[in-house]
Amino acid sequence: MVDSLPLVAASLDALRRGQADSGGFIAGPNFPTYRYVWLRDGSFCAHALDRFAEPERAAAFHHFVARALLRDPRRVERAIDAALVGGEPRLMLPTRFAIDGTEEPNSDIAWPNFQLDGYGAWLWVLADHVNRGGELTGELRQAADLVARYLRAAGHLPCFDCWEEYGDKQHTATIAAVLAGLSAARELLGGDPVPDWPLSIVDGSLVKFSGSTQVDGSLLSVALPFGVLSTRDRVMATTVRRIEAELVGPGGGVRRYLGDTYYGGGDWVLLTAWLGWYRAACGDLAGARQARSWIEAAATPDGQLPEQLTGAPQQPDMVQPWIDKWGPVATPLLWSHAMYLILTDVLRRAS
């Protein structure tokens, strides 16, 4: 277990070390399969650094995204045109980039790259960065306009979720990220009203995707940070009660969803931080601190946070096959460190 102050320092150091000269954050620096830059992971890393008074590093990430998109604006325009006529996945924009910002093809069916939530998250985090005093340069404005147009055209289409699964579904957390991104773009750039695309609700609870009855840990993002539903909303509260009842493991960590088999479907650090964030926003500071303590106990002796823990998996027989395939669980995962920092900042401001 690592105490709060040392783990804050270690987490900031992990983000700094994991940021390439290009400005992109390498999702898993020690995990070969994750040596790419994802928009969603990187956006939350930038947001964490903004909260800890490192706006220059946050800005460097935003300019990484802008340069990656403006490298070939016609590529974006083609994706917009394709989205307007149904959205052939191989023509859509990727959410995963190489460290230098070049595009990783989304034609790799084994590792799908058509995911929309990262673009919505980036717009939301960019607007937050500007609201904190960051500069909306011409380059950032041009890229944000392209992304907003892309999301207006593609945001309602089935795509892979933030876990890179179920590409034929309309995912509730993805829709929320897109709506939040478009709202942020309107704040930054003006333009048309945000679409009224509905969230999937069953029996008073948000569900993983249209046609499902399951909850998913990523649904916490609908309220925080995206604000599509407030923390006081009855549907949101019902959803979180289900997450706590169905997805919190015996030690207090949060799992992605029931039936998850990735590394056995264990408890995820970033989702545990997310639940702590929600609890703090609802005034349950003791519950938020409990989540933070769980994360601190999950850290390695040198202060690295993994993607998930495998001590109490849903599917014990699926842990070793993933280790054999890709090696031990990604450690550090920069997104885990980012979410821990965000929770820590929320708690220090609430104290």
Q: How far apart are CA 72 and CA 166, in angstroms?
A: 29
Report yes or no: 148 and 191 within 8 Å, Cβ to Cβ.
yes
The catalytically annotated residue of 145, 164, 187, 233 is 164
Q: Rounded to 5 degrees, what angle do the CA atoms 209, 211, 217 make?
A: 30
* CA 305 remoteness from chain centre: 16
Report yes or no: 114 and 159 within 8 Å, Cβ to Cβ.
yes
DSSP bridge pairs for 103: 97
In the annotation, is 296 catalytic? Answer: no
Other beta carbons within 10 angstroms of residue 250's beta carbon come to: 8
Q: How far apart are CA 291 and CA 305, in angstroms?
A: 14
Q: How far apart are CA 216 and CA 243, in angstroms?
A: 7
Length of the chain: 351
The catalytically annotated residue of 41, 50, 128, 161 is 161
Which burial class, exposed, middle or buried, applies to 55 when counting CB atoms under 10 A from its CB (0-12, 13-18, 19+)?
middle
Report yes or no: 87 and 168 within 8 Å, Cβ to Cβ.
no
Task: Please state at what angle helix 334-350 crosses helix 269-281, rounded to 10 degrees.
Answer: 20
Q: How far apart are CA 232 and CA 224, in angstroms?
A: 12
In the annotation, is 145 catalytic? Answer: no
In order of 72, 110, 117, 127, 166, the CA distances from 173 in angstroms are: 29, 22, 8, 19, 13
Report yes or no: 235 and 271 within 8 Å, Cβ to Cβ.
no
CA nearest 180: which of 166, 170, 167, 195? Answer: 195
In the annotation, is 164 catalytic? Answer: yes
Instruction: Give catalytic residue positions.
Output: 161, 164, 307
